[in-house]
Structure 1
């Protein structure tokens, strides 16, 4: 087996060209090639070996590994169990499912009737959001937003103040006397 290094070349299946072509190695993890760049189209992608080429250990190496770990391999092979949507809803009270509203608060495993997505059940609650699993998909929706309406700020218009031009004094208010401005003379009432 050839020793590969970053910057070297390797034949790989190009995802854009759909052909096995020469690629430049961009990244490796240990001795495993992880990321490559096609020398033809210039596209970067995960490494996919040429068809028929594998990076798995040879059969002689696997035989020795099997004998040493035969007891652990049977325990490690767990069967994946898939539970259908209908089986998950089987034990729940679907008839009394409340209609979804962002104002209501929900809990895990509660069945919900949504106007668009149909019947679903809550799988996770995170603060003001819930994950609800429906027949086709899992959606994240809001809940618990039905508290008292937010207090709106009160608008106080500015008070109207009587002001004149900056170079003239304000008119005297009742009960106060204003001194005459320089150059103004008090004209006594003349009895001519």
Structure 2
């Protein structure tokens, strides 16, 4: 069987950039033996030829063996929790007076430790999700 080389004016399948579908197109321009531009027979738009390539096969096995990496903050938080006495944690409240190094138990973020305080009313706390900036009452 002889395969016919496409020429301008022939029809081919292409993915239309306007319709977002693969449909029949008329070849408008060729570059050598390659189809360059086509006109959609559905909407009439002229665009570069986008062939109908088969979808890429997915890998057979899901990637369950790879564990997500811990960030530097998560590793620092894990070390801090292991060394800290969690019974001395202060429940988070904006009005509670705090100092750098205090343990805080936040209702949403969990256990954390104050890294620094900024006057008049801010503190940086390291939690498992990362470092957060929260409001507080800075102790003298």
Would you call these one fold, judging by a TM-score over 0.5?
Answer: no
Q: Structure 1-normalised TM-score? A: 0.31
Q: Structure 2-normalised TM-score? A: 0.42
Select the structure of larger CA radius of gyration: 1
Higher percent of residues as strand:
2
Relative contact order higher in (CA < 8 Å, ≥ 6 apart): 2
